[in-house]
Chains A and B, each alone.
Chain A
Amino acid sequence: MMDLAVRDIRHDLGRFVLTAVGLGMLLSVVLAMTGIYNGMVVDATVVPDSLGADLWVVQRDSQGPFAESSRVPQRLAERLRAIPGVARTRSYVAFNVQQTTPEGVTRRFMAAGLSWPDDHGDMLPLAQGRALRAPHYELVADASLNLPLGSQFKIGRDAYSVVGVTRGMVSSSGDPMLFVSIADALKIQNDLANEAMRIETEARIGRVKRSSFGRDPASLERAAQSQLPALAPPPVSAVLLDLEPGQDVESVRERLSHWPDITVYTTDEQRALLVRGVIDRARRQIGLFRSLLVIISAIVMGLIVYTMTLDKMHSLALLKLLGARRIVILRLIIEEALLLGLLSFVVALLIGEFMFDLFPRRVLVGDADRLALALVVAGISVAAGVVGLRKALSADPNQVLAS
């Protein structure tokens, strides 16, 4: 039996291809949603993953340092190093920075302090340059920050030279990461805090001047001198523990469970906190949006197949008149629906292949995601085919005589 579906498609190939491209674009958004979701999970955990510590020690009852803010004293690292089984401790500090350049471009990134001299950032996935070699005024930045290797970059009061460039190192909110030594990081944090305080002080003096106290020199003096209480030495966000080879994680953790003021997480627990906590809403949002798109695709496809069937009613009536079995009509409609689904799917994959890299955040599509989309498209195609088939089977041979 000749393939009627292929012949019908070939007869109006342009329209079929155009329809498939449109549908493919819709499906590519479904795929993008999956990729964005996957990218989000990877982005959220890329920093803890590449820092690769066995245990994370944070402020008591905090989920920090990524999911929540956490402050622990700098000296905690020294005390932790004394624990049997701990090979190395690293202090870690990270904070968000937002800068506006003189040209008016706003830059957001997360600055992180590496525990110099133990940690030079050798574990960072470098695309260019090298890790830190000096304790001060060097930085490694992610490529998405667009800082050329060898250039100078001013943060706080000082300029830092860009010695290394990473790829894909972003914070859980997708901002580029920037690594300096921990001493530099604390200084930057302090500089930025002082800057904020200076602005706050000016504002306070301004308020006093505008008020009736402005005529009293003493109150002006007090306004200028009053400051937030200084915190010294500055705390860090967390302390990372690297255990000795073969050392049981749980026993170290058990030992630390009696320490006041701290909470201990494994790297896996940190990841879980990030995925279930920080990006949970975004994840559910994307999941919902994706379900909606699948439903829309199904409706659109159903309508398209239905219209394609309507356009063929005369041929279908003629086929019935000639004594075509139901299976012939079924094959014609279902095969067309499946071919439309297949072509749309291929279009979606191609769009994904060439477009997803242009997205500002990571879009990660794996084979399992492609397979899942293929199954969804197959399901939608069959459902749409059934819609068309119901119409097709209602074709009446009498219409051929009437026409």
Chain B
Amino acid sequence: MTPTQTNIVLSAESLSKVYGEGPLRVEALKPKSFTARAGEVVAILGPSGSGKSTLLTILGLINPPTTGSLRIGPTQVIENGRAVANLDQQRRQQIGFVFQRSNLIPFLNAEENVRLALELDDVPPAQSRTRARTILESLGLGKRLHALPSRLSGGEAQRVAIARALIHKPAIVLADEPTASLDSHRGRQVMELFREAAHAQGAAVLVVTHDHRTLDLVDRILEMEDGVLTEKAYAAPGETSHA
């Protein structure tokens, strides 16, 4: 295997999604193959309704694709539109999620929200607690460990969500407009965090965003238009060769 192939943590083959039938039929994602490598931050751009979230829910194993195959990390997850692995387990172990808001469970404090990602996969509490503290402290939230989400600012909440998305060292991190509810300064911080985490953990981060001000921080841009996904340009290609 070539070094490029070993780096691939996400591999999609002719992935497509059709909603509805007859006159209600919407081709939300036209068949498309693409890959993402460890350490990459990939931005997904596109107008509203173009199918960005659809793509993310398929990659996140929330919705099944109509056709296509999908490999995440070392595991073949979907084969010709059918699940061939335990999707819950794959989500627990290989995928991290961050959304625009409401990422956190309101009755769990910051630390518990982060620990949850580990404990759902049977990591013992003692260990999950230490790891959650370490990552939250590294994100500057050492003093907010016991704060409930309702007590966190938007930026703090988003950093907790990022901590939760990263703590189990997933192969891919999927983020749907994670900076939309933040001001440009905080939005930039979040993108920088993704960038650092991608490099440090060897994960591919796929970010749906409308925020063009942060595009200088991404490695690749995929553009979505009416369900058609196209590679736009490599931004600062040198950044990807971190190994």
**Could you say which residues of chain B place their CB within 8 Å of the CB of A12?**
107
Q: Is residue A210 contacting chain B, with contact meaning CB distance below 8 A? A: no
Q: Which of A2, A314, A322 contacts B125 (CB 8 A)?
A: A2
**Could you say which residues of chain A place their CB within 8 Å of the CB of B53?**
401
Tell whether, in the assembled complex, residue B115 and residue A323 are in contact, meaning their CB atoms are under 8 Å apart: no
Question: C-beta contact mask, A185-204 vs B, less than 8 Å → 1, else 0?
Answer: 00000000000000000000
Nearest CB on A from B145, distance (A) = 14
Tell whether, in the assembled complex, residue B107 and residue A321 are in contact, meaning their CB atoms are under 8 Å apart: no
| Centre residue among B88, B97, B107, B120 by max chain A CB count within 10 A | B107
Q: Is residue A400 contacting chain B, with contact meaning CB distance below 8 A? A: yes
**Could you say which residues of chain B place their CB within 8 Å of the CB of A11?**
106-107, 148
Q: Is residue A319 contacting chain B, with contact meaning CB distance below 8 A? A: yes
**Could you say which residues of chain A place their CB within 8 Å of the CB of B112?**
2, 7
Which secondary structure dominates where chain B touches chain A? mixed
**Could you say which residues of chain A place their CB within 8 Å of the CB of B101?**
403
How far is B173's CA from A289's CA once the two chains are assembled, in angstroms?
A: 59
**Could you say which residues of chain A place their CB within 8 Å of the CB of B87?**
323
Quick one: given A2-B119, A322-B97, are A8 and B107 in contact (CB under 8 Å)?
Answer: yes
Q: Is residue A307 contacting chain B, with contact meaning CB distance below 8 A? A: no
Question: C-beta contact mask, B207-223 vs A, less than 8 Å → 1, else 0?
Answer: 00000000000000000
Q: Which of A2, A7, A321, A324 contacts B62 (CB 8 A)?
A: A321
**Could you say which residues of chain B place their CB within 8 Å of the CB of A390?**
none
**Could you say which residues of chain A place their CB within 8 Å of the CB of B120?**
1, 319, 322-325, 328
Question: C-beta contact mask, B108-133 vs A, less than 8 Å → 1, else 0?
Answer: 10001001110111100100000000
**Could you say which residues of chain B place their CB within 8 Å of the CB of A398?**
57, 62-63
- The residue on B at minimum CB distance from A325 is B88
Tell whether, in the assembled complex, residue B105 and residue A318 are in contact, meaning their CB atoms are under 8 Å apart: yes
Which secondary structure dominates where chain A touches chain B? helix
How far is B57's CA from A345's CA once the two chains are assembled, in angstroms?
A: 44
Q: How many interface residues does chain A have, given as a range?
A: 20 to 34
**Could you say which residues of chain A place their CB within 8 Å of the CB of B62?**
321, 397-398, 401
**CB-CB contacts below 8 Å: B5-48 with A:** none
Nearest CB on A from B112, distance (A) = 6
Nearest CB on B from A122, distance (A) = 66
How far is B137's CA from A199's CA once the two chains are assembled, in angstroms?
A: 96
How far is B115's CA from A2's CA once the two chains are assembled, in angstroms?
A: 9
**Could you say which residues of chain A place their CB within 8 Å of the CB of B106?**
11, 314-315
Question: C-beta contact mask, B86-109 vs A, less than 8 Å → 1, else 0?
Answer: 011111110101010111111110
Tell whether, in the assembled complex, residue B89 and residue A323 are in contact, meaning their CB atoms are under 8 Å apart: yes
Q: Is residue B56 contacting chain A, with contact meaning CB distance below 8 A? A: yes
Q: Is residue A157 contacting chain B, with contact meaning CB distance below 8 A? A: no
Nearest CB on B from A318, distance (A) = 6
Tell whether, in the assembled complex, residue A314 and residue B89 are in contact, meaning their CB atoms are under 8 Å apart: no
**CB-CB contacts below 8 Å: A267-324 with B:** 314-315, 318-324
How far is B105's CA from A314's CA once the two chains are assembled, in angstroms?
A: 8
**CB-CB contacts below 8 Å: A137-153 with B:** none
**Could you say which residues of chain A place their CB within 8 Å of the CB of B176?**
401
Nearest CB on B from A342, distance (A) = 19
Nearest CB on B from A328, distance (A) = 7
Tell whether, in the assembled complex, residue A315 and residue B105 are in contact, meaning their CB atoms are under 8 Å apart: yes
Quick one: given A2-B115, A401-B53, A403-B102, are A323 and B88 in contact (CB under 8 Å)?
Answer: yes
**Could you say which residues of chain B place their CB within 8 Å of the CB of A4?**
107-108
How far is B107's CA from A314's CA once the two chains are assembled, in angstroms?
A: 11
**Could you say which residues of chain A place their CB within 8 Å of the CB of B148?**
11
**Could you say which residues of chain A place their CB within 8 Å of the CB of B105?**
315, 318-319
Tell whether, in the assembled complex, residue B119 and residue A1 are in contact, meaning their CB atoms are under 8 Å apart: yes
Q: Is residue A10 contacting chain B, with contact meaning CB distance below 8 A? A: yes
- The residue on A at minimum CB distance from B120 is A324
Q: Which of A1, A10, A397 contacts B107 (CB 8 A)?
A: A10
How far is B146's CA from A7's CA once the two chains are assembled, in angstroms?
A: 13
How far is B101's CA from A397's CA once the two chains are assembled, in angstroms?
A: 14
Quick one: given A322-B116, A398-B62, are A7 and B108 in contact (CB under 8 Å)?
Answer: yes
Q: Which of A7, A8, A322, A401 contacts B117 (CB 8 A)?
A: A322
**Could you say which residues of chain B place their CB within 8 Å of the CB of A324?**
88, 92, 120
Since A2-B108, A7-B108, A323-B121 are in contact, a sample of 19 more A-B pairs with Cβ atoms closer than 8 Å, ordered by chain A residue number, is A1-B125, A2-B112, A4-B108, A318-B102, A318-B103, A319-B105, A319-B120, A320-B88, A322-B91, A322-B120, A323-B87, A323-B90, A323-B92, A323-B120, A397-B57, A398-B63, A400-B99, A401-B99, A401-B176
Listed in ascending order, the chain B residues whose CB lies under 8 Å from chain A are: 53, 56-57, 60, 62-63, 87-93, 95, 97, 99, 101-108, 112, 115-117, 119-122, 125, 148, 176
A-B contact pairs, 10 of them (CB 8 A): A10-B107, A11-B148, A319-B120, A321-B62, A323-B87, A323-B88, A397-B57, A400-B102, A400-B103, A403-B102
Q: Nearest 9 pairs between A and B by C-beta?
A: A323-B91, A323-B92, A11-B107, A323-B88, A8-B107, A397-B62, A315-B105, A403-B102, A1-B119
